[in-house]
Structure formats: structure tokens, C-alpha cells
Amino acid sequence: MPTILLYSDDRTVREEVRGAVGQVDGAGEAIVWIDVATYDEVIKRADAGGLDMFVLDGEADKVGGMGICRQLKNEIFNCPPVVLLTGRPQDAWLASWSLADAAVPRPLDPLDLQKAVRTVLAEPLRQGSGL
């Protein structure tokens, strides 16, 4: 049963992501979603461990997901993979800089988002960027 931490300060973004990805992964297992809206909560949950993936909103106010992604990848040994939600397709280079494993641009296409999450969950644990 994969556990995914979903970070966005916008509740509607979190609802959109959960709705697009669904409650079941590609292997038919139920997904446990952990919704957080603040940087402090992301770090607290990351430090606690037990996560299989992060989905981070690169457009979140105060602390964006790109900076958080880079911090997690640099500070957590064998950091779980990260799917980054970017503001536009042209921001793919920023997602690469952040060391994200995949990036999905806005407007969020439900099929692209679901495919990115399922693909990254199905891959062996990777370190660094695999964009």
C-alpha cells in the first residue's frame, strides 16, 4: 500500500491531484494520501519516514515545491521519488534543477498526472534527477 505525501497550500489543487490519480495505484493497491499545506509539515512527515512518494506543488505560496524537492533530495538518504507540479511546460528545467523524478505542468491533465505518479511508483528507488 503506497503512501504519498501531497503538498500544496491550495486545497483545490490537492483535491484535483487526488481525483486525477485516484485511490488505487497501477498494481491495484490502495493509495494512502497524506495531505499537507505547509513546509513545516512536509519536513516533519519526511523526517518521520514511511513515505513512498512526494507530490509537491511548485507553485505553492511561501515555500514552493521546487525548493522543497531539492532540499529533500539533498538531505534524505534514498529520498522517495518526487513528482513536481509546475506552473507551465517551460518550467521543466526548474524541475530538473530541483532533482524531481517527474514533472507535470499546469494546466494539470488528469491522465498525464496519473501516468507520472504510477510510472514513478512502479520504478525502483532512484537518487537524484531522473527527468
Q: Is the predicted pLDDT of residue 125 greater than 80, yes or no?
A: no
Q: Is the predicted pLDDT of residue 129 greater than 80, yes or no?
A: no
Question: pTM (2 decimals)?
Answer: 0.93
**What's the whole-number average pLDDT of the chain?**
93
Q: Is 25 helix (H, G, I), strand (E, B) or coil?
A: coil
pLDDT band at 85 (very low <50, low <70, confident <90, very high): very high
CA dihedral 119, 16, 35, 67 (to 10 degrees): 70
pLDDT in tens, 46-61: 999 999 999 999 999 9
d(Cα 54, Cα 74) in Å, to the nearest integer?
Answer: 14
Nearest Cα neighbor of 71 from 62, 82, 60 is: 82
Q: Is the predicted pLDDT of residue 131 greater than 50, yes or no?
A: no
User: Which residue has 534524505 as its cell numbers?
Assistant: 76
CA distances from 49 to 20, 54, 65, 68 (A): 25, 12, 18, 16
Q: For residue 56, what pLDDT is reported? A: 98
* Overall average pLDDT of the 12-21 stretch: 98
Q: Where are the chain's structural domains?
A: 3-122
Q: Where are the beta strands (DSSP E) in 29-97?
A: 32-36, 53-57, 82-86
* Overall average pLDDT of the 110-125 stretch: 91
Q: Is the predicted pLDDT of residue 88 greater than 90, yes or no?
A: yes
The CATH number of the domain covering residues in 3-122: 3.40.50.2300
* Overall average pLDDT of the 17-37 stretch: 96
Q: For residue 123, what pLDDT is reported? A: 83
